[in-house]
Structure 1
Amino acid sequence: MKVTIGPAQYIRNKGLLEAAGTYIKNFGNSAALIGGNTSKEIVEVSLRKSLSEHGILLKHSLWYGGESSESNIDSLVADLRDEKIDVLIVAGGGKAIDTVKAVAYQLNKPLVAIPTIAATCAAATPITILYSDEGEFIGIERKSKVPDLVLVDSEIIMEAPVRFLIAGIGDTLAKYFETKSSVKKATPTALNQTAIAIAGQVYQTLLQIGKESVNAVRAQTVTKEFENVIDTVILVSGSVSGYGGDDCRTAGAHAIYSGLTIFPEVHHTYHGEIVAFGILAQLCMENTSDEELKTLISYYQEVGLPFTLQQLGITNLSDSQWRRLGDITVTIEDMANMPFEVTPEMVIEAVRRADEIGNGMLTTGVAAQ
């Protein structure tokens, strides 16, 4: 049995970036920063200053490539393989972090993650989600390492567009619904039952303070609720799969997310936003009642999550497109974690039903922006 719960150390505080060198110095005297262009602009000046104050040379500042794709991973590995660098630092969102987790694995280097948005639990998991260079889901790469240290500056997270936090809430909600389904195939153990308990707490936390955390970002005020949601999205949700392992994996919601990425029009939509719709479709496959779905959609309306295909940018699918969606979605490995066999027809029916119920709710509350 092998269990990887999460990062060795997680630190979250206001203004933390200015003290980053205090923690990173434990990994050596030279570093390379890799991340999204915007994220590097946000962190590099303060990071470089803090590293310098602790005798650490930031030798490189590199763009991760825009997608967590094999070609971008291979390119970064080639660029850095012969460099004398003690530690890799990644700044950005889930795709940047996933990319550098795979790079750090191949180079066998310590990894420090500095999330600049709270949109996924990528900083707390030992897997990389692979996409094509065009953004279409490819698969899950396990030659990836969990960060040795995660530094979260809550002021940086607050200054990001609120839509990122909303997407993070959507992605994190899936932990509860998918874990409940995937664990049905497993024999109960201390670890997977702990994962279920954590997933339940994650769900309750988001229901209780999700709206308040979104309002805090809109008011540009770091509040207790906001920081609790940051921790829930980035760290606590990652521990669900950490404790649960293969018994508590992503399931129907993420499979439907991956299937929907075949449509280029969704590539402007964030991961957690599409996953949120995937939750609704998964619940439809599980024959959840309309009333339960409407209750969840009401929460989506409160925080600003999408709940129709049109809100994801998808309109007027042809019969062949529907068939392709069903055929591809059932091949995604996440779908094998459902406690029953799923057919393409079940996927199509579930997505149609979720969209129909969602459209019926458009006039009953504030639609997602």
Structure 2
Amino acid sequence: MKVTVGPAQYIRDKGLLEVAGTYIKNFGKNAALIGGHTSREIIEVSLKKSLEDHGIFLEHSTWYGGESSQTNIDRLVDELKDENIDVLIVTGGGKAIDTVKSVAYQLNKPLVAIPTIAATCAAATPISILYSDDGEFIGIERKSKAPDLVLVDSEIIMKAPVRFLIAGIGDTLAKYFETRSSVKKATPTALNQTAIAIAGQVYKTLLQIGEEAVTSVRTKTVTKELEDVIDTIILVSGSVSGYGGDDCRTAGAHAVYSGLTIFPEVHQTYHGEIVAFGILAQLCLENTSEDEIKALIGYYQQVELPYTLKQMGLINLTESQWNKLGEITVTIEDMVNMPFEVTPEMVIEAVRRADQIGNTMLSPSAVI
């Protein structure tokens, strides 16, 4: 049995970036920063100063490439493999972090993650999600490593556009619904039952204070509710798959997400927003009552998550497109984790039913 539960160390505080060097100095004297254009712009000046204060040189600052793709992973490995680098530092969102987790694995280097948004649990898991260079889901990459250190500056998260936090709530809600489904295929153990309990607490926390956390970002105020939701999205939710392992993996919601990425129209919708709709489709696959689905949509309305295809840019799919969605979605690795066999026809029916229920609750101004 092998269990990887989150990063080796997780630190979250307001203004943490100013003292980042205090923690990173333990990994060596030469560092490379990899991330998105915006995220590097946000942290590089303060990070470089803090590193220099502790005798650490920032040898490189590099764009990760825009997609968590094999092309970008291979390019970065090739660029850095002969360089004198002691530690890799990644900054940005889930795709940047996943890319560099795979790079760090191949280069066998310590990894420090500095998320600039709270949109996924990528910083707390040992796997990476691979996409094509065009953003279409490919699969789960296990030649990846959990960061040795995660530094979360809650002020940076608070300053990010609110949609990122909302997407993080959507992605994290799926932990509860997917875990309770995927674990049905497993023999109960201390580990997977702990994962279920954590997933339940994650769901409870988001229902209780998710809206307050969103308000905190809108009002540009770091509150306890915001920091609790940040920790829930980035760290606590990652521990669900850490403890549960293959017994508690992503399931129908993420499979529907991956299937929907075949349509370019949804590429402007964030990962967690699409996953949130995927939860509704999974509930329909499970023959959940309409009242329960509508209750969840009521929460989506509070935090402004999408609950129809139209809100994600998908209008009037052709019969051919519907068939392609069904056929591709059932091939996604996540769908195998459902406790029953799912056919393309079942996917199509579930997505249509979720969209239909959502449309009954759609107001004219409800657009993502």
TM-score, with structure 2 as normaliser: 0.99
Where does 1:283-294 land on structure 2 (aligned, <5 Å)?
Answer: 283-294=283-294
Partner of 1:367: 366
Counterpart-to-counterpart distance in 2, 1:74 and 1:57: 24
* 2:27 equivalent in structure 1: 27
Cα pair 1:166 1:303 within 8 Å, conserved? yes
C-alpha contact 1:182 1:339 (8 A) present in aligned 2: yes
Give the match for residue 263 of structure 1.
263
Instruction: Indicate the residue corresponding to 1:94 in structure 2.
Output: 94
Distance in 1 of aligned mates of 2:341 and 2:83: 48
How far apart, CA to CA, are the structure 2 residues paired with 1:318 and 1:304?
A: 28
> Cα offset for 1:366?
6.9
Matched, 1:309 2:309: yes
Deviations 1:203-262 (A, max 9, x none): 000000000000000000000000000000000000000000000000000000000000
Q: What are the ranges of 5 or more consecutive residues in structure 2 without an aligned counterpart?
A: none
Aligned to 1:184: 184
Partner of residue 328, structure 2: 328
Q: Percent identity?
A: 82
Matching of residues 23-62 of structure 1 within 5 Å: 23-62=23-62
Q: CA deviation at 1:125?
A: 0.3
2:129 aligns with 129
**Change over 3 Å in CA distance of 1:366–1:295 after alignment to 2:** farther
Deviation at 1:176, TM superposition (A): 0.1
Whether contact under 8 Å (1:259, 1:325) holds in the other structure is yes
Asked whether the 8 Å contact 1:302–1:366 carries over to 2, the reply is no
Letter of the 2:59 counterpart: K
Alignment correspondent of 2:227:
227
Shift in Å, 1:34: 0.0
Contact 1:249/1:337, CA 8 A, preserved across alignment: yes
Query: In 2, Cα distance between the equivalents of 1:129 and 1:139?
Result: 6
For the aligned residue pairs, the C-alpha RMSD in angstroms reads: 0.8
Matched, 1:11 2:11: yes
Q: Please state how far the C-alpha of 1:367 moved relative to its aligned partner.
A: 2.7
Q: Deviations over 1:113-157 (max 9, x none)?
A: 000000000000000100000000000000000000000000000
Moved >4 Å (runs of 4+): none
Aligned residues: 368
| TM-score normalised by structure 1 residue count | 0.99
Could you say which residue in structure 2 is the equivalent of 1:205?
Answer: 205
Q: CA–CA distance in 2 between the matches of 1:253 and 1:107?
A: 33
Displacement of 1:368: 5.0
Provide the residue aligned with 1:347 in structure 2.
Answer: 347
The secondary structure found in structure 2 opposite 1:249 is: coil
Match of 1:158 in 2: 158
CA distance in 1, matches of 2:60, 2:293: 49
